[in-house]
A and B are shown apart, each in its own frame.
Chain A
Amino acid sequence: MKLSKWLFISVLLFSLVLTGAGCGNSSQVTLNVYNWGDYIDESVITDFEKETGIKVNYETFTTNEDMYIKIKSGGSSYDVAIPSDYMIERMIKEDMLCKIDMNNIPNINYIDPNFRNLDYDPDESYSVPYMWGTVGILYNKTMVEEPVNSWNILWDPKYQKQILMLNSQRDSIGVALKKLGYSINTRDIKELEAAKEALIEQKPLVLAYVEDDVKDKMIAGEAALAVVWSGDAVYMKWENPDLEYVVPDEGSNLWFDAMVIPKTSTHQKEAEMFINFMCRPDIALRNTEYIGYSTPHMEAKKNLSAEILNDATAYPPQEVIDKCEIFKDLGSYLKEYDRIWTEVKAQ
Chain B
Amino acid sequence: MKIKWVSYPYLVWMMIFVVVPLLLVIYFSLTITDGGVTKFSLANYEKFFEPIYIKVLLRSIYLALISTVFCLALGYPLAMILASKEMSRKNFLILLFVLPMWMNFLLRTYAWMTLLERKGLINTFLSYINLPPLEILYTNEAVVLGMIYNFLPFMVLPIYSVLRKIDPYVIEAAEDLGANSLTVFLKVIFPLSLPGVVSGITMVFMPAVSTFVISRLLGGGQFTLIGNLIEQQFLTVGDWNFGSALSIVMMILILFSMAAMARYEKDYEGGGLW
Our pick among B12, B135, B235 for the contact of A66 (Cβ within 8 Å) is: B235
Do A65 and B238 touch across chains, with their CB atoms under 8 A apart?
Answer: yes
A14-B236 contact, Cβ under 8 Å, with A207-B138, A222-B119, A345-B224: no
CB nearest neighbor in B for A6: B8
Do B220 and A207 touch across chains, with their CB atoms under 8 A apart?
Answer: yes
Q: How large is the interface on A (under 10, 10 to 19, 20 to 34, 35 or more residues)?
A: 35 or more
Which of A278-286, A308-316, A335-343 faces chain B?
A335-343
A69 proximal to B (CB < 8 A) = yes
A208-B221 contact, Cβ under 8 Å, with A169-B236, A222-B119, A346-B52: yes
Do B12 and A14 touch across chains, with their CB atoms under 8 A apart?
Answer: yes
B9 proximal to A (CB < 8 A) = yes
A287 proximal to B (CB < 8 A) = no
Q: How far is the CA of A220 from the CA of B117 in the complex (A)?
A: 10
- B219-248 CB contacts (< 8 Å) to partner A: 219-222, 224, 228-229, 232-239
Our pick among A72, A73, A210 for the contact of B221 (Cβ within 8 Å) is: A210
Main secondary structure of the interface of A (DSSP, over half): helix
Do A7 and B222 touch across chains, with their CB atoms under 8 A apart?
Answer: no
Do A69 and B238 touch across chains, with their CB atoms under 8 A apart?
Answer: yes
A3 proximal to B (CB < 8 A) = yes
Inside 8 A of B118's CB, which chain A residues have their CB? 221-222
Contact with B along A303-334 (1 / 0, CB 8 A): 00000000000000000000000000000100
Our pick among A10, A208, A341 for the contact of B220 (Cβ within 8 Å) is: A208
A63 proximal to B (CB < 8 A) = yes
Inside 8 A of A6's CB, which chain B residues have their CB? 5, 8
Inside 8 A of A341's CB, which chain B residues have their CB? 236-237
Inside 8 A of B138's CB, which chain A residues have their CB? 161, 207-208
Do A203 and B234 touch across chains, with their CB atoms under 8 A apart?
Answer: no
- B142-157 CB contacts (< 8 Å) to partner A: none
| Interface residue ranges, B against A (CB under 8 Å) | 5, 8-9, 11-12, 16, 35, 52-53, 55-56, 117-119, 135, 138, 219-222, 224, 228-229, 232-239
| Interface residue ranges, A against B (CB under 8 Å) | 2-3, 6-7, 10-11, 14, 63, 65-66, 68-69, 72-73, 161, 167, 169, 203, 206-210, 220-222, 332, 335, 338, 341-343, 345-347
Q: List 21 A-B contacts (CB under 8 A).
A: A7-B8, A7-B12, A10-B9, A14-B12, A65-B235, A65-B236, A65-B238, A69-B234, A69-B235, A72-B238, A161-B135, A206-B220, A208-B220, A208-B221, A208-B222, A220-B119, A338-B237, A338-B238, A342-B229, A342-B237, A346-B52
Knowing that A210-B220, A341-B236, A345-B229 are A-B contacts, what are 8 other residue pairs whose CB atoms are under 8 Å apart, sorted by A's residue number? A65-B235, A66-B236, A69-B236, A207-B138, A222-B119, A342-B229, A346-B55, A346-B224
